Amino acid sequence: MLTAFARAFQTPDLRKKLLFTLGIVVVFRFGQHVPVPGVSFQNVQQCVEEADAAGAGSGLFGLVNMFSGGALLQLTIFALGIMPYITASIILQLLVVVIPRLEALKKEGQSGQAKITQYTRYLTMALAVLQATGLVATARSGTLFPQCTVRNDIIPDDSIFTTVVMVIALTSATALIMWMGELITDRGIGNGMSMLMFVSIAAGFPGSLWQIKQQGSLADGWIEFGVVVACGLAMVGLVVFVELAQRRIPVQYAKRMIGRRSYGGTSTYIPLKVNQAGVIPVIFASSLLYIPQLLVQFAGTDSGGWTDWVQRYFTGGDHPYYIVTYFLLIVFFAFFYVAITFNPEDVAENMKKYGGFIPGIRAGRPTVEYLSYVLNRITWPGSLYLGLIALVPTVALVMFNAQQDFPFGGTSILIIVGVGLETVRQIESQLHQRNYEGFLR
């Protein structure tokens, strides 16, 4: 991987793309430290320090805070991060299966995909307005830092003008992030949104690791620090191994004579990844389990009844009920997402249209049944792998007394490894386009 980056910097075109991507990343990180107008920066810092000292972590807003690179709890202009865009993209992917008009647009090719991208932008801005309003209301009510002594003074001015200015600032910053991500996609290296997500998550690693070292008790915390780093490297190796694992279904194309030329007769394969769903099931399950906690926050802890039950079993994150529910939701969403993103009937139809077939399997319905059978078999280990990886932060909470933003959590490792592998793959493919020595030897 390091060799690929070194060769990339020696190529003028790739060097420009890498430097352009690095410049956008620097601007992005700078925006994550600029406070929102109307926020008391000193009070926010005091609440963050009190939360860290109490070991409260980021609690309910841990997932969003991780995707924003810690900007959410700092109440900076990039506090929403890329979560509105991620949510909008997931919603559009689900709607493509449900709404025939969107499904027709998807089949139109590049022009249809451009329209779907435009709809994603509109939905992103709408979600950004809603999330910005909710964040301002949460910060003003003191729910963002429930144990802070100055939680009610985070936003000193409660006028409508200040609220409107804060919502506009947060929404405009989300539009800026979306634009920067598209710039990286067009003029840089890799997928822009994935790259910004990678930067946001990786930015929290040094601080989280150092915090584990400071909280440790064995040899001034260095033993705990070393154990966590060793476990993290082992997890990265496991994730790389599973993410690259795939089941290759051979496909043979019949030879056809058109005029005097012969077409077809080639062999290829359909790559089915073991983790076909990626990190989406973990995000779905985490978001769904945040809903009862969010309802408790707004209903009040002294409401009694169902709020006490939710607090007892689904707030801490380390109760067996929570762990089992989280694991089962990940498995369910893995099968659900694979079912809506990979349609065996469409694959079988396209193969039949171009004269392709799986050796030993008849074209048509038998091919659909075979693809469904193989997909279900490889989805089972993929979903169990996702569930086990996602439970690592819970184990860390018990063993190391870590916080909710444990650096080597399942979601963060999956995203970092996935984006890193895809970026390196794109760099190597562009190097092969500019350097043919490896093919001519």
CATH value at residue 358: 1.10.3370.10
Residue 361 lies in a domain: yes
pLDDT in tens, 383-404: 998 888 888 766 665 565 555 4
Three-state SS annotation for the chain: CHHHHHHHHHCHHHHHHHHHHHHHHHHHHHHCCCECCCCCHHHHHHHHHHHHHHCCCCHHHHHHHHHCCCHHHHCECCCCCCHHHHHHHHHHHHHHHHCHHHHHHHHCCHHHHHHHHHHHHHHHHHHHHHHHHHHHHHHHHCCCCCCCCCHHHCCCCCCHHHHHHHHHHHHHHHHHHHHHHHHHHHHCCCCHHHHHHHHHHHHCHHHHHHHHHHHCCHHHHHHHHHHHHHHHHHHHHHHHHHHHCEEEEEEEECCEEECCEEECCCEEEEEEECCCCCCHHHHHHHHHHHHHHHHHHHHCCCCCCHHHHHHHHHCCCCCHHHHHHHHHHHHHHHHHHHHHHCCHHHHHHHHHHCCEECCCCCCCHHHHHHHHHHHHHHHHHHHHHHHHHHCHHHHHHHHCCCCCCCCCCHHHHHHHHHHHHHHHHHHHHHHHHHCCHHHHC
Residue 386 lies in a domain: yes
Question: Do 26 and 137 belong together in one domain?
Answer: yes
Beta strand 246-253 with 267-273: parallel, antiparallel or unpaired? Answer: antiparallel
Residue 190 lies in a domain: yes
Q: Name the domain boundary from 203, 225, 252.
A: 203
Q: Name the domain boundary from 203, 229, 257.
A: 203
Q: Please report, rounded to a whole number, the percentage of residues in the chain having pLDDT higher than 70.
A: 81
Residue 238 lies in a domain: no
Lowest mean pLDDT among 3-7, 161-165, 277-281, 435-439: 435-439
Q: How confident is the model at residue 441 (pLDDT cuts 50, 70, 90)?
A: very low
Question: Do 27 and 156 belong together in one domain?
Answer: yes
Per-residue pLDDT at 75: 85
Question: Do 255 and 119 belong together in one domain?
Answer: no
Q: How many domains does the chain have?
A: 2
Question: Do 64 and 175 belong together in one domain?
Answer: yes
Question: Do 35 and 166 belong together in one domain?
Answer: yes
Per-residue pLDDT at 398: 59
pLDDT in tens, 260-312: 666 666 788 888 888 888 888 887 887 777 777 667 666 655 555 667 777 67
Residue 440 lies in a domain: no
Question: Do 314 and 194 belong together in one domain?
Answer: no
pLDDT greater than 70 at residue 172: yes
Q: How confident is the model at residue 207 (pLDDT cuts 50, 70, 90)?
A: confident
Q: How confident is the model at residue 191 (pLDDT cuts 50, 70, 90)?
A: confident
Per-residue pLDDT at 263: 61
- For 343-381, the DSSP string reads -HHHHHHHHHHTTEE-TTS-TTHHHHHHHHHHHHHHHHH
Residue 196 lies in a domain: yes
Alpha carbon distance 128, 353 (integer Å): 43
pLDDT in tens, 402-430: 554 455 667 788 888 888 888 888 888 77
Q: Name the domain boundary from 147, 178, 203.
A: 203
Question: Do 300 and 177 belong together in one domain?
Answer: no
Question: pTM here?
Answer: 0.79
Q: How confident is the model at residue 438 (pLDDT cuts 50, 70, 90)?
A: very low
Residue 175 lies in a domain: yes
Q: Which domain holds residue 251?
A: 244-408
Residue 434 lies in a domain: no
Question: Do 33 and 156 belong together in one domain?
Answer: yes
Question: Do 252 and 185 belong together in one domain?
Answer: no
Structure tokens at 412: 């963060």
pLDDT greater than 70 at residue 338: yes
Question: Do 138 and 252 belong together in one domain?
Answer: no
Are the C-beta atoms of residues 68 and 167 closer than 8 Å to each other?
no
Per-residue pLDDT at 439: 40
Question: Do 173 and 92 belong together in one domain?
Answer: yes
Q: How confident is the model at residue 165 (pLDDT cuts 50, 70, 90)?
A: very high
Question: Do 184 and 282 belong together in one domain?
Answer: no
